[in-house]
Amino acid sequence: MIEVVNPTTEEVVGTVRAGTPGDVDATVTRAATAFPAWAATPVEERAAIARRVAEGLAARVDEFATTMTTEMGTPITFARKVQVPNPVGIAHGVADALEAGYFADAEIGNSLILREPVGVVAAITPWNFPLQQVVAKVVPALAAGNTVVLKPSELAPLTADLFAEVLAGAGVPPGVFGLVHGTGSVVGEALAVHPVVDAVSFTGSTRAGRRVSALAAETVKRVALELGGKSANVVLDDADLVRAVKIGVANAFMNNGQACSAWTRLLVPADRHDEAVEIAVAAAAKYVPGDPADPATRIGPAVSAAQRDRVVAFIRSGVEEGASLALGGPDAPTGRGFHVAPTVFGNVRPGMAIAQEEIFGPVLSVLPYTDQDDAVRIANSTIYGLGGAVFSADPERALAVAKRLRTGQVDINGAAFNTAAPFGGYRQSGNGREFGRFGLDEFTEVKSVQR
């Protein structure tokens, strides 16, 4: 059995059975058996099921939010406003794309162009957004006519159990969706190498993504990866500095700093660096670690003791490499729970570990730049390319800089997150896209029929 630990109380709050390669094989076999009938299901019916999934999630917001807060420590207010509503929007977006004619036949000369499901899809999801990333993979894969086997993170498996109930309630037939709990080294790898699995969609660390890709290559599977990030918030010299920094801190610390697309690097003009650090410290000081079940809490614990220790090690490295510690530090807040002190570093150089590595905790690095070209160079100086931001008083200038950032998504002046727009990364942040019609693309094959 795998014990589920509440990172706030450090108490066991549930258990799930650890799956084996045999469990994977049996579940994949059922999915393969169910595939022909499900692929033949009318698109309209699959769209209706996606819509019912969205409605089923919306009807259980509090239950999902409470479960996520309990098993992985996300603040309950964030869970209610983001962790559940985003998946609802994603599921509706999939239904919208199908109803808009995603599977409509096209013609090129004497060729009929068809879209067809890939087959059996393995979905491997992380703990930080344990509902959103499940929905972003499973719903479009099912809606495209595939059958799916899901392996959620062993750190946050209870949310996946609730999601399975919603799928059943929405009318997904037995065998079309399967759930196998377990570790990545056992269940995840068994899915990646299974000869009957046709595609793998994985979200997690870049290191684990490399491993999934290598294993899947043995059978030339299709692989979609959403991996790490080290996103830059580029504040141009004409921007409202106070607003840009405050929004940037909120983004960097959202979900306890455990978000792959978080803007963890704040790039500011060198002559305004000290002012920016002062604003960031004042904003970050309002993030007092506390019980995430309290609606007033803005930041909860790291998901596990191991994750807390990893974040603290990065904070220590920042101090050792000479960055200016402006707030927080390696000393953990008092009391129970895997808490990390919200931390702000100033005078960070681009080559420092805290400016290059994904920390996955509430740590913000402030980097000075000399001019706009220097800002773009620094923003593009990591192996990642997932998210980013640009702030400027001139929207056209901001757009011009956004186009130069080598990253899959850029927000201008704090624009709202869009669950219908493509989400995914460049370079070692992964490949493929999620959400809307772009998410459906990952789970379809294209066939040309000449006539």
Residues 34-92 pLDDT 10s:
999 999 999 999 999 999 999 999 999 999 999 999 999 999 999 999 999 999 999 99
Residues 342-391 pLDDT 10s:
999 999 999 999 999 999 999 999 999 999 999 999 999 999 999 999 99
The active-site residue, picked from 71, 154, 189, 260, is 260
| Percentage of residues in the chain having pLDDT higher than 70 | 100
226 catalytic? Reply is: yes
pLDDT of amino acid 366: 98
pLDDT of amino acid 258: 98
CA gap 381, 347 in Å, rounded: 17
Residues 289-313 pLDDT 10s:
999 999 999 999 999 999 999 999 9
pLDDT of amino acid 194: 98
Residues 237-282 pLDDT 10s:
999 999 999 999 999 999 999 999 999 999 999 999 999 999 999 9
Confidence band of 332 (pLDDT split at 50, 70, 90): confident
73: number of Cβ within 10 Å: 31
pLDDT of amino acid 23: 98
The answer to whether the CB of 48 falls within 8 A of the CB of 272 is: no
Residues 84-126 pLDDT 10s:
999 999 999 999 999 999 999 999 999 999 999 999 999 999 9
Torsion (CA) 70, 74, 79, 85 in degrees, nearest 10: -120
| pLDDT above 90 for 334 | no
Residues 185-235 pLDDT 10s:
999 999 999 999 999 999 999 999 999 999 999 999 999 999 999 999 999
Rg (CA), the chain: 22
pLDDT of amino acid 21: 98
The active-site residue, picked from 71, 154, 226, 442, is 226
User: Could you identify the residue written with the tokens 């003791």?
Assistant: 305
Report the mean per-residue pLDDT for the chain.
97
Mean pLDDT calculated for residue range 163-169: 98
The answer to whether the CB of 30 falls within 8 A of the CB of 178 is: yes
260 catalytic? Reply is: yes
Partners of 289 in beta bridges: 299
Quote the tokens at residue 10: 């450090």
| Percentage of residues in the chain having pLDDT higher than 90 | 99
Three state DSSP letters for the chain: CEEEECCCCCCEEEEECCCCHHHHHHHHHHHHHHHHHHHCCCHHHHHHHHHHHHHHHHCCHHHHHHHHHHHHCCCHHHHHHHHCHHHHHHHHHHHHHHHCCCCCCEEECCEEEEEEECCEEEEECCCCCCCHHHHHHHHHHHHCCCEEEEECCCCCCHHHHHHHHHHHHHCCCECCEEECCCCHHHHHHHHHHCCCCCEEEEECCHHHHHHHHHHHHHHCCEEEEECCCCCEEEECCCCCHHHHHHHHHHHHHHHHHCCCCCCCEEEEEHHHHHHHHHHHHHHHCCCCECCCCCCCCCECCCCCHHHHHHHHHHHHHHHHCCCEEEECCCCCCCCCCCCCCCEEEECCCCCCHHHHCCCCCCEEEEEEECCHHHHHHHHCCCCCCCCEEEECCCHHHHHHHHHHCCCCCCEECCCCCCCCCCECCCHHHEECCECHHHHHHCCEEEEEEEC
Buried b (16+ CB within 10 A) or exposed e, 280-300: bbebbeebebbbbbeeebbbb
pLDDT of amino acid 59: 98
